[in-house]
Amino acid sequence: MNESYKIPDYQIFSANLKSCAANSSIKVGKCLHSAVIKLGLHSCLLVSKALLNMYAKCKVLDDCHLLFNQITHPDAVTWNIMLSGLAGTRVHDTEVMKLYNAMNLGHNFKASSVTVAIVLPVCVRLKGLKLGKSVHSHVIKSGLESQTLVGNALVSMYLKLGCVSGDAYKVFDEMSERDVVTWNAMVAGLLENGLVFEAFGMFKQMIKEGILPNYATIANILPVCASLEGDHAYHFGKEIHCYAMRREELFSDVSVVNSLVGFYSKTGHMKEAESLFKRMNSRDLVSWNSMFAGYTSNGEWFKALELFREFNSLNLTKPDSVTILTVLSTCANLQNLQAGKQIHSYIIHHPSLCDVTSVGNSLINFYSKCGDVISALQSFSLIREKDLISWNSILDALAQGQLLNDFIQQLHAMFKEGVKPDSITIVTVIQLGADASQMCMIKEAHGFSLKSNLFPGNREPTLGNALIDAYARCGKMEYASKIFECLSGNRNVVTCNSLISGYVNSGFHDDAEIIFKNMTERDLTTWNLMVQAFAENGYFHQAIDLFLDLQNHEMKPDSMTIMGILPVANQMASVQMVKQCHGYVVRSCFKDVQLKGAFLDAYSKCGNIKSACKLFESTRYKDLVMYTSMVGGYAIHGMGKEALQIYYKMVENGGKPDHVIITSILSACSHTGLVHEGLKIFNSLNAVYRIKPTMEQYACVVDLLARNGRINDAYSFITSMPVEPTANVWGPLLGACKNYHEVEMGSVAADHLLKMEANNMGNYVVMSNIYAAKDKWEEVLEIRRLMKMENLKKTAGCSWIEVYGKKNVFIAGDTSHPLRTSIVNMLCNLDKQVKDRFQL
C-alpha cells in the first residue's frame, strides 16, 4: 500500500501523443512513435489509436494510412479516427465515403453515432443528397435514429442541402430528444435558406419549450434580427442583448459580445457597438475585426483606420486575412494610397498572407479605386492561384482606367488560362464597350452570353440591364427595346430605369412616359429620370407636378432630384421655387458641392445675384464648378469687374481654369467693355495653360472686340483664326455692325452667315435692320424677297416674370394679359418721365 502507484508506459505514451495531436506537434509525435517501436508498445491498440489520432490531427495522411493498415483488428473508434482525419482536410471527401462503405461491409463492428456525425457533413460538401439519404437509410437500419447526435447531424445535412420542409422538418419533428444543438442547427439552417421569419419563429418556440440558448444560439439569431426590416431589427436585437446580460455565463463569453457588436454594426448603430467594444474585458481578433467591418460598412472610414492603428500599436495579436481585407477596403474608400501601401508592405513581409488569393484580389481593388492601375497589374501578377474574382478584379480595374487594349489583352489571357467568364465578366466587357462606344465589343459580349446561357438564364436581370444601358448609350434604342422585351417576366426596377434613361437621353420622352406609367414598382431614380424628361422637353408644369407626386408616394428627393427640377425653376425664372428647393437641401443636410454650384446658377438666372453671392461666400470648400457658376452669374448681370475678381481669386488659390469658366469670363468682359482684360485672359489660354481655344471662345473674342466698337479688329481676328470660323463666330460681328451702322462690314458678315445658315431668320432680320438704318430700302426689299423664297417667318418675342409667386407671360402682339392697360399706362408714364428728365 505504501508503494507508489506506477502509471503503465502505454498510458503515458497515449497521453503525450494526445497532447501532440492537440498542439499539432508532429516532430515530437514522430519521436514518440520511434520510442513506442523501440519499447515494443506498437502492438498495444490504445497506443496505436493515439498514434493514429496524432497523425490524423496533424494531417500527415500518408503515415496515417500506413499505420491504419498495420492495425490487424481495428475497432469502430479506429475507423472513426481515420474517417475524422480524412474529413478534416476537406480535400479527401470521396475517400471518406469509400472508407465509410468499406467499414459498413465489415461484420465485426457497426458504424456508431460518431461515424454518422463525421460522414454527413462530407455528404453536404459533395452536394450528395443521395449519399446523405443512403447514410440516413443505414441509420434507420442500425437503430441509430433515436440518438440526438445523429438527429442533429441529419437535420443540419438536409438544411444545408436545401431540403427544408420535406426532410429537415420531418427529422426534427420525429426526434425523441432535442438539445440546444438541435435547435441551433434548425435556426442556422433556416437562415441559410433565406427563411428569416421561420428562423425567428423557431427561436421563439425554443424559448417556449424551456431550452436555454447558448453562445451559438445567440450568434445564429442576431443575424436574423439584423435582417428584419425597419425598427423591428433594432428592438428584437435589443431584447436578445438584454437576455444575454441577464445570463452572466453568456454575456461573459467573448463570442456572444462579438455577435452583439456585429449586430449593432449591421443595423447602423455604431455608438452601441463602440460602447460594447470598449467595455469588453477580453477581446479576440474577431472583436477587432467586427469593429473594423462595422466602421467600414457604415462609411466611417477614418474611424476604421484610426482603430486599426490602435490595434497595431497594442501588438496583442497579428491581423489575419479578414483584418487585411477590411482595412484595405477602408483605404480604397478613402483613396488613401499611402496607408494602403503600408498594409501592402505588411502583407509582403508575411508570406502566409501573400498566399491568400482574396488578399491579392483586395489589393487589385484597392489600387484600382486609387487610380493606380500599374500597381493593380503588379498585384495581379503576384497572385499564385488566380481565381475568377482575380480576373474580374483586374478587368474591372482596366475598364475603370479606360485602358481598352490592356483590357482586351487580359481578357484573351483569361481564356488561354481556361478560366470561364461569368456574368460579372461579361457586364464589365459591356460597360467598357459602352464607355468606349465600341458597338462590336458590346455585340460580341451579347453573343457570348447567349451561347454560354448566361443571358437570359440568370435569375437576376443584371446582364440584361447592362445590355439595355449599353445599347441605349450607343444610340441603338431598337436593340435596347428588344432586350427589354426578352426580359419580360424577369424585369426589375433597374431594367425599366435603364430603358427610360435611354429614351430620355435619345429624346424619346413619350416612350419613356409609357414605360413609367406601366411600372408597378418605382424607385427614386425612376422619378428623377421622368422629372428630367419633362424638364428637357419643355413640359415645366408636368415636371413640377411629378416632383410633388413623388413626395406624395413617400419618396424623399435627393440631390439628383433637385438637380433635375432646378432647370425648370431657371426656365420659369421662379426665384421662389429656387428658394424652396434650397431650403429643402439645407434641412436635408445635403453636402454636394455640385448642387451648390447649381443653386448659384439658378439664383443668378432668376435675377437674384445677392443670394448667389451669399451662397458662394458661405461655402468653405469651393471647386471649379462653384467658381464657374459665380463667374457666370456675374456675367449674366453685367458685373464684369466682380466676375474678374472671382476668376483671379480662383487662379490665386491654385485652381486651373477649364473651357467653361474661360467662356464665362470672356462673356463677362464682353458685356462690360473690359476689352483689355478679356484679351489678356484669352492669350493666357495657350501661353499659360496650354489649352487650345474652342470655337465658342473665338466667338467670345469677336463679340468682345465688335461689341465695343472695334469692328475692323474683330474682322482681322476672324480672318487670322487657325481654324475655319463657324456661324457662331460671324454672328457677333453682324450684330455689332447693326449697332454701329457698319453696312459694308455687315454685308461681308451676312454673306458668310447666309451661306452657312440659310434658314436662320435672325441673320436676315439683322441685315434688314442695318440697311433700313441707312435708308437703303432696295436692299431691305431684297432681304425680304430672300426671306419669302426661304419661307421664313419671324417668331414672336416672348418674355416672362414672376411676381408674388405668379408667372406673368408676355408675347409680342398679344393683348390678353388681364393687367395690360395698367402695364401700358405705366410704361407711357415712365417713357414721359425719361424724356422730361433729359429735356434741354
pLDDT tens track for 391-432: 999 999 999 999 999 999 999 999 999 999 999 999 999 999
User: What residues contact 233, with CB distance under 8 A and at least 6 apart?
Assistant: 225, 226, 227, 267
In a domain, 322, yes or no: yes
Residue 295 shares a structural domain with residue 328: yes
d(CA 745, CA 421): 66
Is 296 in the same domain as 315? Answer: yes
What's the confidence (pLDDT) of residue 767? 66
Half-sphere exposure of 726 (CA within 13 A, CB side): 8
Distance between CA atoms of residues 231 and 248, nearest Å: 27
Number of CB atoms found within 10 A of residue 757's CB:
17
Residues 273 and 312 both lie in one domain: no
Q: Count of domains in the chain? A: 3
Last residue of a domain, one of 354, 373, 392: 354
Dihedral Cα 322, 323, 324, 327, nearest 10 deg: 120
The CA distance from 189 to 493, in Å, is 31
Bond from prior residue into 456 cis (ω within 30 degrees of 0): yes
Residue 164 lies in a domain: no
247 with 289, same domain: the answer is no
- 806-811 and 798-803 strand pairing: antiparallel
Q: Check whether residue 227 and residue 318 sit in a common domain.
A: no
In terms of domains, do 205 and 233 share one? yes
The Cα angle at residue 423 between residues 419 and 424, in degrees rounded to 5: 85
CB 448 within 8 A of CB 426: yes
Is residue 329 situated within a structural domain?
yes
Q: Distance between CA atoms of 827 and 840, rounded to whole angstroms?
A: 22
| 3-state helix/strand/coil string of 682-720 | HHHHHHCCCCCCCHHHHHHHHHHHHHCCCHHHHHHHHHC
288 lies in a domain? Answer: yes
Give the three cell numbers for residue 101.
462503405
Residue 815 lies in a domain: yes
pLDDT score recorded for residue 794: 60
Spans of the chain, pLDDT less than 50? 1-2, 5, 838-840
Distance (Å, whole) CA 371 – CA 428: 17
Q: Residues 404, 408, 413, CA angle at the centre, nearest 5°?
A: 150
Instruction: Check whether residue 278 and residue 202 sit in a common domain.
Output: yes
Residues 315 and 264 in one domain: no
Q: In this structure, is the dihedral angle defined by the CA atoms of residues 723, 724, 728 and 734, taken in order, positive or negative?
A: positive
Give yes or no: residues 197 and 232 share one domain.
yes
For residue 216, being part of any structural domain is answered with: yes
> Of 282, 315, 344, which residue sits at a domain end?
282
Render pLDDT for 475-501 as a digit per residue (tens, 0 to 9): 999 999 999 998 887 888 999 999 999
pLDDT value, residue 23 = 83
Indicate if 258 and 203 belong to the same structural domain.
yes
Could you write out the DSSP letters of every residue in 801-816?
Answer: EEETTEEEEEETT---
In a domain, 18, yes or no: no
Same structural domain, 269 and 310: no
100 in any annotated domain: no
Considering the domain architecture, whether residues 311 and 275 belong to the same structural domain is answered as no
Dihedral angle computed from the Cα positions of residues 349, 355, 358 and 361, in that order, rounded to the nearest 10 degrees? 70
For residue 442, the model assigns a pLDDT of: 94
Looking at 339, 354, 369, which one is the last position of a domain? 354
C-alpha cell, 73: 483488428
Which range of residues forms the domain containing residue 264? 178-282
